[in-house]
A and B are shown apart, each in its own frame.
Chain A
Amino acid sequence: MSDTYYSIKKDEDKKGNEIPSFFVSNAVKNVIFTMTGLEVIETKVPDAADVDFISHISGVVLITGSINAMFSLTVAKPMAYLLVSSMTGILPQNLREEELYDGITELVNMISGETRAQMSGRGLHFSTLPPFAIIGDKHFVLHKNKVANLVKKFLVGDKDIYFKVYFL
């Protein structure tokens, strides 16, 4: 498998329908930097078992078309406060919970849009459904019995951001 693709479970029947790993990385870094001014660093993904245990908010968006997939951006609460406070200029203590959820949801929406634009250059087109948030301490996201196909971990300072793609 090419180094440009990172896939935990590669489905051979879907060959060519995967999203290049660096598209996703660039999209996450570019969107967060532009909206918040925060530098985002990609880092090594820990063992899959650890991946789902830092969560408090996941922004989720579904895409359909040449590729059917679900994108999720998962953060713990302190990171959500940092991101949304940096986006809005509102002090963390003055942010309402709904603003946190909306902020994370909007970020995943922009990341999917950025990825979509890059994929359309390769002749792959898809539609995006309105994004939504999943909230709860230590929640995790599964599609049927599948964990994410593509998992990316980023750091802002010492705080984690997980971005996952589930091919449906």
Chain B
Amino acid sequence: MKKRVLIVDDSPLIHSLLRKTLLKYGYEVCGDAKNGREGVEMFRQLMPDTVFMDINMPVMDGLEAVKNIKQICEELNVKARIIMLSAIGDDEVTVKARNLGVFIFLKKPFDDYTIISAMSMTE
């Protein structure tokens, strides 16, 4: 069965780049959210296997969204791999993300290989 992926990013361009790469390598993109709050809501509805999450977004940032998603996972006893994909990549933020339970932290800019390598690590 295809792995289902939710993309949370405020840039439509990043959505289309990720979608293109993921589809090319046999993954299913089950949802596109444009901020953290939308991402949390869509996660609850769609229960994807993996989430690509940006940090710097309006309404709710990615770190806050990860906290919420992790709570949902605990409440419902489900697992989801969260891949952080952000332009921000300094130690302070990556440590914070890791402590929140982010599976892999990827830094923008990125290429197909980085995305697919990260996806393969979630399997």
Residues in B neighbouring A130, C-beta threshold 8 A: 10, 56-58
> Given contacts A114-B87, A117-B90, A120-B90, is CB(A30)–CB(B109) below 8 Å?
yes
Q: Which of B12, B87, B111 contacts A113 (CB 8 A)?
A: B87
Q: Is the CB of B56 within 8 A of A103?
A: no
The B interface is mostly helix, strand or loop, or mixed, namely loop
Interface residues on B, range: 20 to 34
Q: Is the CB of B56 within 8 A of A109?
A: yes
Q: Is the CB of A116 within 8 A of B90?
A: yes
Of residues 7 to 26 in B, which have CB atoms within 8 Å of A's CB atoms? 10-14, 16-17, 20
Query: Complex Cα distance A90/B89, Å?
Result: 28
Is A24 engaged at the interface, CB distance under 8 Å to the other chain? no
Tally of contact residues, A, Cβ under 8 A: 29
User: Would you give the 0/1 interface string for A92-132, flagging 1 where the beta carbon is closer than 8 Å to chain B?
Assistant: 00000011001101100111111011011100010011100
Rounded to whole Å, the gap between the CB of B21 and the closest CB of chain A is 10
Q: Is the CB of A113 within 8 A of B13?
A: no
Q: Which of A106, A112, A121, A128 contacts B11 (CB 8 A)?
A: A106
Is A8 engaged at the interface, CB distance under 8 Å to the other chain? no
Query: Complex Cα distance A93/B107, Å?
Result: 30
Q: Is the CB of B109 within 8 A of A116?
A: no
A-B contact pairs, 30 of them (CB 8 A): A30-B109, A34-B109, A34-B111, A35-B109, A84-B13, A88-B13, A88-B17, A89-B20, A98-B12, A102-B11, A103-B13, A105-B11, A106-B11, A109-B11, A109-B56, A109-B87, A109-B108, A113-B87, A113-B108, A114-B87, A114-B109, A116-B88, A120-B92, A121-B90, A125-B90, A125-B92, A128-B56, A128-B88, A130-B10, A130-B58
B residues with a Cβ closer than 8 A to A are: 10-14, 16-17, 20, 56-58, 86-92, 107-111
